[in-house]
Amino acid sequence: MPSTQLTTFADATASFSEARYVILGVPFDRTTSFRPGARFGPDAIRQQSWNFETYNFETGLDLSEVPIHDLGNAEEFGSAEEMAKGVRELAQPIWEGSKFPITLGGDHACAPPVVEAAPRDASLGVLYLDAHLDFREVYLGDRRSHACSARRMVERLGSSNVVVLGVRSMSRDEKEDNDRIGMRYLSAYDIHREGIRAATERALEMLHTERVYITLDIDGIDPAYAPATGTPEPFGLSPLDVKTVIDLAAPRLAGLDIMEVSPPWDSGNTSALAARLAREAILRTELHRSGKDVSRSG
């Protein structure tokens, strides 16, 4: 059973059965490779979520009227393999209930089990926002390391169903493995050159799945905006870039996770950004669901 936490995510007042959106915290950062702290991410993001208005003028929606449930945090886990098993068990009922999972990490190792918990016939493609390619077969003896997360998703979904956005760091081995395996990526430089809108549209066209899942490693965003993360990497995306990705993906969006927010390095701005992006994902998905999304023709 998930344990209790300091507070729930703002406006998460619905029961699990009523909810269309379900928040799950995974306070696990045992595979962090540089500076630790992401285990404190879920509660910091929840706290910051109370900063925002329930009403959103852009969509005309009020989050207090959207059925959101907060499952709380997963228990503590020993190994990453154990964590993966536990997260699959927690995420499975969310997918089975046709609800929209919003998982708050934790290090990026916490993301693949959410995707693995989706039914095989879910027709799910992944937009993988990250500074790093995360394409190692194994890292420091652990196949479940956060440095292997894109590789694990490709194993589950196939190389054509994962597209990485904002990458600007990879090892030679990762580059060579991926040249062979063929996961597609648009680097931070490609996106800067092409513009986020065109790049996102191109990435969405690459995914031939009915539905799209976004996994956001907060380090995909530039450390100027999101300094509180385990492995900060210059030349990143802007917060508005990520909002644009969410807006454009919304008609197909099936779930989201936000990983690697590391509160010990935060003055509150990184977790506030994460909370706001989670709220944007709910608002945009809900707007599309309500049939009022006219932004695509604008």
- Beta carbon nearer to Mn ion, 217 or 257: 217
Q: Which residues pair with 24 in a beta bridge?
A: 103
Q: What number of residues does the chain have?
A: 298
Residue 264's alpha-carbon distances to 35, 63, 131, in angstroms, are: 10, 29, 20
Determine the Cα–Cα distance for residues 26 and 111; give it in Å rounded to an integer: 9
| Binders of Mn ion in range 9-68 (CB under 5 A) | none
Give the range of 34-42, 162-170, 190-198, 210-218 binding Mn ion by CB under 5 A: 210-218
Are 23 and 104 spatial neighbours (Cβ–Cβ below 8 Å)? Answer: yes
- Beta carbon nearer to Mn ion, 200 or 215: 215
With CB under 5 A as the contact rule, the residue among 11, 217, 257, 280 that binds Mn ion is 217
- Beta carbon nearer to Mn ion, 68 or 237: 237
With CB under 5 A as the contact rule, the residue among 11, 29, 43, 130 that binds Mn ion is 130
Give the range of 34-42, 71-79, 122-130, 170-178 binding Mn ion by CB under 5 A: 122-130
Are 46 and 83 spatial neighbours (Cβ–Cβ below 8 Å)? Answer: no
Least distance CB 145 / Mn ion (angstroms):
10
Please list the helix, strand and coil fractions of the chain in percent, rounded to the nearest 5, in that order: 45, 20, 35
Determine the Cα–Cα distance for residues 250 and 211; give it in Å rounded to an integer: 10
- Beta carbon nearer to Mn ion, 10 or 153: 153
Determine if 222 is a binding residue for Mn ion (CB under 5 A).
Answer: no
Give the range of 12-20, 124-132, 166-174, 281-289 binding Mn ion by CB under 5 A: 124-132
Determine if 247 is a binding residue for Mn ion (CB under 5 A).
Answer: no
With CB under 5 A as the contact rule, the residue among 11, 70, 116, 134 that binds Mn ion is 134
Give the range of 33-41, 212-220, 223-231, 246-254 binding Mn ion by CB under 5 A: 212-220
Least distance CB 123 / Mn ion (angstroms):
24
Determine if 233 is a binding residue for Mn ion (CB under 5 A).
Answer: no
Determine the Cα–Cα distance for residues 59 and 191; give it in Å rounded to an integer: 26
* Burial call 242-252: b when 16+ CB within 10 Å, e when fewer: bbbbbbbbbbb
Determine the Cα–Cα distance for residues 3 and 165; give it in Å rounded to an integer: 33
Determine the Cα–Cα distance for residues 125 and 287; give it in Å rounded to an integer: 21
Determine the Cα–Cα distance for residues 241 and 238; give it in Å rounded to an integer: 5
- Beta carbon nearer to Mn ion, 134 or 222: 134
Least distance CB 239 / Mn ion (angstroms):
18
With CB under 5 A as the contact rule, the residue among 39, 46, 99, 108 that binds Mn ion is 108
Give the range of 28-36, 55-63, 100-108, 136-144 binding Mn ion by CB under 5 A: 100-108
How many residues at the interface with Mn ion, by CB under 5 A? 4
Nearest of 132, 106, 151, 110 to residue 260 by alpha carbon: 106
Residue 225, classified by CB atoms within 10 Å of its CB into exposed (0-12), middle (13-18) or buried (19+), is middle
Least distance CB 298 / Mn ion (angstroms):
32
Give the range of 9-17, 96-104, 181-189, 213-221 binding Mn ion by CB under 5 A: 213-221
Binding site for Mn ion (CB under 5 A): 108, 130, 134, 217
